[in-house]
Structure 1
Amino acid sequence: MTIQITGKNLDAGNAFQAYASDKIHTVLNKYLDRVPDGHVRLERERGFFKTSCSVRLTSGLLLEAHGEGDDAYTSVDSAAHRLESRVRRYKSRIKNHSSPEAAARRKIDMEARDYVVSVGEEDQPEHHDANPLIIAEGQRNIGHMTVSEAVMQLDLSEAPFMIFKNAAHGGLNVVYRRNDGHIGWIDAETSAAAKPVD
């Protein structure tokens, strides 16, 4: 029920905090019965303002939206508009995501950890740009869901990919955004079960 407003390398004043909080609450109140907790982050980059919104629904879904603008207010308006279009598009499925079946799948979610892998001094390449470091972002839950639920979560979160356990067979699957704008799906269970052709 709380929307936390922060600024990255700038002060998000009281007026902006009140405006952003009201804007996000208005969008969420229009489509959801209960306004969940969320976070809005404002940053200034090369003369533009960028706003990132993250809202965790009670069903466990993560809604994310980003906006840009010439000033802080237009950037939060842009992010709120994107958030509203996502919530509106998936309104019925978001509400159905709190079904008993979905709750049972969330109970058996498994945790995945991200790690930082650095190259040792003796293994350093000549060109540092060719081998960038792998940077950790934190801990994530890998949930049980159907492919359509994973595609919905991918779209709601603006992430480039999503790893999940397929509700049909329990195997790890990946859905990702393709360069042509479509969604790709990797089903590791089907790949492992495939027999080699002689």
Structure 2
Amino acid sequence: MPHVTSIVTVILDADNYPIWLSLMISFLSSMSQMPYVDGSIRQPAAEIILANGLRLPNLKLSTWTRINHSIWGNLLATMSWGLMLEFYDILPAYDIWSAIRRRFLQNTLARELELRDRLLSLCLTNQGMASYLRDLKNIGDQLAIIGKLVPQSEMILYVLRGLPSSYESLVTTLSYSVADETFDQIRAYLLNYEQRLC
């Protein structure tokens, strides 16, 4: 049986929920434990009542409890200390899973809006073209980390949007070929153009 950290190789924190989620789903699926976190398998009754009224302990409860505690431990083992303190007292597994999901979906939306706002407001000023492009790519990479991949054509439009008027002729030319160019090709054109402006 694989240890959770052999598959879930990231520690859940504020910035990596989509990656953590993919890895955790892979791990739980490989252990046939997803039904315990998605709520398909709920806590069984403590007793079984037979037709004659006799009450017997439900043996499924001990199995369910063991698996739930295993999942709980695996979820906590892949969290940062601060997050662990937030979730350590939540059981059963489907409740902790839902709590994690609620927390990070709200954070993911707020983070996406913040990063997209940064993409819109970033402009080439005195930092130089290489630094400007690196900053844009870094924001794009951060969006990808939270599961909000920006298509290359859209990234190129953000690049062109933030250029000053001294790049107007190149921007006009490149605007017609955005769908055919890659970010790396546009980067090469812009770095070359910057050298010619000097």
TM-score range (shorter-chain normalised) is: under 0.3
> Normalising by structure 1, what TM-score?
0.26
Higher RCO (C-alpha 8 Å, min separation 6): 2
| Structure having the higher Rg | 2
